A and B are shown apart, each in its own frame.
Chain A
Amino acid sequence: MSSSRKGSWTFVVAAAVTVFLLDGVFVHAKSFEDVRCKCICPPYRNITGHIYNRNVSQKDCTCLHVVEPMPVPGHDVEAYCLLCECKYEERSSNTIKVTIIIYLSVVGALLLYMLFLLLVDPLIRKHDPYTQPLHNEEDSEEMRPQVDNSQARGNTMLERVEGAQQRWKKQVQEQRKTVFDRHKMLS
């Protein structure tokens, strides 16, 4: 059971990654704003430096197409353009948007869950003070029968989730002890 759950979890991650990729790689619907040709022209004679920024295709990304209006008279254009440096850049604003939204929602969800675990959960758990130490003993004594028991007990979805959550909490507790209290790792 645990391996199948792990598997399904992995598939969820894989799916999320794929969606992310599809968004990033294949949906290259280059919107109007997603390409630019930026020409930076340094000071020349008595003209101050300028930055020109236009939406043009990659092959048109030259000083002649982008710098408009041309600040110098016709015979000087070539010399002026030699100094300018044009760079074609593209981005995917959709990817950025989606990434930031995904990121913020995950952080938000984790924040809520953290608050739940720290504030609400102890209040709920207070009702049955006997179950907690019992669980502990059982778990620390023998891992194996515990797993079997939870398999046998976990009939409904909710119970299973509950069991998984308890086991996970135990693991984190253990990790916390290792890292923060005993300083056996990562110090």
Chain B
Amino acid sequence: MESEQLYHRGYCRNSYNSIASASSDEELLDGAGVIMDFHTTEDDNLLDGDAASPGSNYAMSNGGGAASSTTHLLDFLEEPIPGVGTYDDFHTIDWVREKCKDRERHRKINSKKKESAWEFTKSLYDAWSGWLVVTLTGLASGALAGLIDIAADWMNDLKEGVCLSAMWFNHEQCCWTSNETTFAERDKCPQWKSWAELILGQAEGPGSYIMNYFMYIYWALSFAFLAVCLVKVFAPYACGSGIPEIKTILSGFIIRGYLGKWTLMIKTITLVLAVASGLSLGKEGPLVHVACCCGNIFSYLFPKYSKNEAKKREVLSAASAAGVSVAFGAPIGGVLFSLEEVSYYFPLKTLWRSFFAALVAAFVLRSINPFGNSRLVLFYVEYHTPWYLFELIPFILLGVFGGLWGAFFIRANIAWCRRRKSTRFGKFPVLEVILVAAITAVVAFPNPYTRQNTSELIKELFTDCGPLESSQLCQYRLQMNGSKASEGGPNRPAGPGVYSAMWQLCLALIFKIIMTIFTFGLKVPSGLFIPSMAIGAIAGRIVGIAVEQLAYYHHDWFLFKEWCEVGADCITPGLYAMVGAAACLGGVTRMTVSLVVIVFELTGGLEYIVPLMAAVMTSKWVGDAFGREGIYEAHIRLNGYPFLDAKEEFTHTTLAREVMRPRRSDPPLAVLTQDDLTVEELQSVINETSYNGFPVIVSKESQRLVGFALRRDITIAIENARRKQEGIVLSSRVYFTQHAPTLPADSPRPLKLRSILDMSPFTVTDHTPMEIVVDIFRKLGLRQCLVTHNGIVLGIITKKNILEHLEELKQHMEPLVTSPAPITHVTLPLLPTLAPVSLGSASFGGLHETWCEKLLTVPGFKPQAFFSLFSHFLFSLC
């Protein structure tokens, strides 16, 4: 009885003509609790009611999604149209569709396997292609990292002088066999000539200093100029760090050419130039981009990966792990970085492949041995001294400093980048690079700590003062009692060298802080890790020496009394530098686990995990107190990339109806009917609107949903049909049903477009809370979601709508806290122009989970199962 009533109700709704005028919705939606009943029990009834067209059965029930999508895909494979299922530039992929496609392909290969030996070989090749592609990626990224390391070292030293005996050696390598035996001459060797020596013929004196100064600036400027020119002429996408973009790509966005061969080549070449130019930037972030380019290029060799965007992203995840692995010599840290920071969808299979890729890359780099120290990074250090509990206080203070620096840097850098983006000042990228390089070079040269390569600076700061150290930082005053004098252990009064080093370091700290803000975002490849670490290391070293001197002069304090006996090793300033570096990097990127693992792989000791964890966690807390975004998320937001962040929780109580398009004032939703459109009408719908997809309904009268067709697919299919099939003219009927509609005898041949129709579009009801919708988008990686009411399509929600909604709510909640620019400027500037979208627009995928969740949910990641589960869940809620 009740069901009949409902049936009636639903039927009335069906005769609604304008779905956009949803003002009278309320009366219908009152009995939300009952509507669920209707969905579960009366669905079939209703469908049978006007199932004039067979095939419409598929569309409405999400529970049957698996079955229908199989049919759909079989259809798809029977009559493949080239180009269908690909994506335009700046569009977002549909993870669910890609996953289905891959499973279908896999099934096909498996079923053919037994047919012949050749097919069997092909299936083996297919099964192994995943491992092959990550192996190749690892090999290539390791080799390229070696190239970058060697070339950057050489070019960096080129600013100071040149090796006469062998042009291709850097300073260190040049003096490899030199026999200068005294400490005073340890850095000199006859083969290495500074520019002043070569040009003026004298190594000392003010003249030579000025000459060296001049040559330093000259080389720095020419490297920077060359780098920015190459970037501008050949591959504009090669600039920046690349991690925000890779994050976006991995979340399911398409940026054509971003991971291409030209980008790879130019990024590799210009990265060396940029590092050598002495700008305050590092090569670690760009190395991730380089590795991802390798992954993308190699995936073209394997049809499994080249034809499937979702599968390709698995390779890219592995590649980014390889990139960090070679950047820091930390394979495990690389895998965790991929998991925590860049990847969106990280199944267990990818974890193993990432691990393998990281391993291969690290092995290759180790074989090349770019630094001649049998390590993967320049600043590898080993400590053997223990740390004491009271030291946690300075470590936590360093964490606070890191968090403050991170928050400050993010704000300042974003403000500066916004300025560059929105004012005329952004029109002069080359000039800007030259200017920053010139200022950097002029200011950096007088201070020995800023003159040297940042990696070397970090190495010097990390290294503990031993008897063999010659650096100024280790010029402690010798103690009076003779026997101790020769032992260069710590905990001695600081000598004049240390004091002068201190103020030089302070100046270097200020300089680095200022320059890094202006450097990150320049139009050259620029990483953030090294400058951040350098800042942290400088601060850490200063704190370390301060604590050390404190312990020396006040060894009777209760804190020091217990642990620090006179003359015993107790404070290790190098360790403070390392903790500081980790804290600053953590403050800027807001990484935690991967950062600690990377740093502990740098030190090769598990002993210091607790200090590192304490500092990194503190810096994250302090940083989060000032703003929850890391630098990469901030840049993603600044550029308006369609990235649905899983770290932010959706806490508002809005409903799907309020977010969906069309809004009440908008024109009605553009829909296609399943069998009474002509080609001409269809083309005019496509040409008049800019939507990227159209819901297909039964008829104008019934308005019920059949499926969803993408604009690109329709365009391609019509073009293809008009070229290949006879008799398709403008007045041909287009139908999406299984069988052709009955037509008058003299009408032209109809065009069947069923193969491009997605008959299992994801739908939610209009009363679904946005909380759930956002979750569905994150976890399933949908491109769009249709909003229905009683099976009637009301509107559509795309990822862009969700992101706009989030932005709106954010502005509402915290009015312009972080963005001084007007709201209109902040809201997703990329989308409106690049992807002319609104309703069925490019909406985007994302399987966002927090990193631990990724591990937990991954093994059973089955979109179809999720589908049915979710739809049941949804319906039971409504």
Contacts and interface: CB of A to CB of B under 8 A. Distances in A.
17 contacts: A7-B301, A9-B261, A17-B140, A20-B143, A20-B147, A42-B468, A51-B182, A85-B466, A92-B369, A99-B147, A102-B147, A114-B229, A175-B236, A175-B257, A184-B639, A185-B255, A187-B639
Interface in A28-78: 33, 36, 40, 42-45, 48-53, 55
Contact of A101 (B168, B235, B236): B168
B374 interface: yes
Q: Which of A7, A51, A55, A118 has the most CB of B within 10 A?
A: A51
Interface string A158-186: 00000000001001100110111011111
B405 interface: no
- Going nearest first, the 10 A-B pairs with the smallest beta carbon separation are A42-B467, A100-B168, A179-B236, A91-B372, A187-B421, A49-B183, A25-B367, A175-B236, A24-B368, A40-B468
B368 A100 contact: no
B83 interface: yes
B168 A185 contact: no
Contacts of A9: 261
A6 B151 contact: no
B301 A83 contact: no
Contacts of A186: 236-237, 239-240, 245, 523, 639
Contact of A90 (B179, B233, B257, B372): B372
B139 interface: yes
Contacts of A184: 639-640, 829-830, 833-834
Interface residues of A, number: 63
Nearest to A148: B723
Contacts of B144: 17
Given A53-B178, A103-B151, A106-B269, A17 B639 contact: no
Contact of B183 (A24, A50, A95, A172): A50
B833 A100 contact: no
Contacts of B83: 144
A93 interface: yes
Given A21-B364, A40-B468, A114-B233, 10 more contacts: A17-B139, A20-B146, A53-B181, A96-B168, A100-B168, A114-B230, A118-B233, A144-B719, A187-B417, A187-B638
B545 to A, nearest CB: 21
B298 A10 contact: yes
A97 B368 CA distance: 12
Contacts of A182: 833
A43 B184 CA distance: 12
A96 B173 contact: yes
B676 to A, nearest CB: 28
Contacts of A111: 226
B237 A175 contact: yes
A24 B367 contact: yes
Given A90-B372, A103-B147, A106-B269, A52 B181 contact: yes
A138 interface: no
Contacts of B301: 7, 10
Contacts of A24: 143, 146, 364, 367-369
A99 to B, nearest CB: 5
Interface residues of B, number: 82
A17 B143 contact: yes
A107 B427 CA distance: 26
Given A10-B300, A90-B369, A182-B833, A96 B150 contact: yes
A43 to B, nearest CB: 6
Nearest to A20: B143
A3 interface: yes
Given A103-B147, A184-B830, A185-B245, A93 B639 contact: no
Contact of A99 (B151, B166, B180, B261): B151
B493 interface: no
Interface string B317-337: 000000000000000000000
Nearest to A103: B151
Q: Which of A50, A103, A185 has the most CB of B within 10 A?
A: A185
Contacts of A83: 467, 486
Interface string B451-490: 0000000000000001110000000000000000010100
Contacts of A180: 232, 236, 426-427, 429, 523
Q: Please classify the interface of chain B as helix (H, G, I), strand (E, B), loop, or mixed, using the class held by over half of its residues.
A: helix
B125 interface: no
B300 A6 contact: yes
Contacts of B372: 89-91
Contacts of B719: 144
Given A96-B169, A175-B237, A13 B139 contact: no
Contacts of B638: 187
A44 B467 CA distance: 11
A120 interface: no
Interface of A: 3, 6-7, 9-10, 13-14, 17, 20-21, 24-25, 33, 36, 40, 42-45, 48-53, 55, 83, 85, 89-93, 95-97, 99-103, 106-107, 110-111, 114, 117-118, 144, 168, 171-172, 175-176, 178-180, 182-187
Contacts of B237: 175, 179, 185-186
Nearest to B153: A96
Contacts of B420: 183, 187
Nearest to B229: A114
Interface string B259-298: 0011001100100110000000000000000000000011
A99 B488 CA distance: 39
Contact of B154 (A100, A110, A179): A100
B177 A53 contact: yes
Contacts of A44: 486
Nearest to A100: B168
Given A17-B143, A186-B237, A89 B373 contact: yes
B176 interface: yes
B803 to A, nearest CB: 15
A168 to B, nearest CB: 7
A15 B188 CA distance: 40
B568 to A, nearest CB: 19
A50 B181 contact: yes
A186 B186 CA distance: 44
Contacts of B180: 51
B711 to A, nearest CB: 14
A14 B143 CA distance: 11
A124 B752 CA distance: 49
Nearest to A53: B179
B182 A50 contact: yes
Interface in B334-371: 364, 367-369
A117 B486 contact: no
A36 B177 contact: yes
B521 interface: yes
Nearest to A88: B374
Given A117-B233, A176-B232, A48 B182 contact: yes
B650 interface: no
B136 interface: yes
B497 to A, nearest CB: 15
Interface string B158-169: 000000001111
Contacts of A93: 166, 169, 173
B702 interface: no
Contacts of B488: 42
B648 to A, nearest CB: 22
Interface in B70-129: 83
Contacts of A55: 177
Contacts of A99: 146-147, 150-151, 168
Nearest to B297: A10
A178 B306 contact: no
Contacts of B265: 106, 110
A21 B143 contact: yes
Nearest to B170: A96
B830 A185 contact: yes
Contacts of B834: 178, 184
A144 B720 CA distance: 11
Contact of A103 (B230, B269, B306, B427): B269
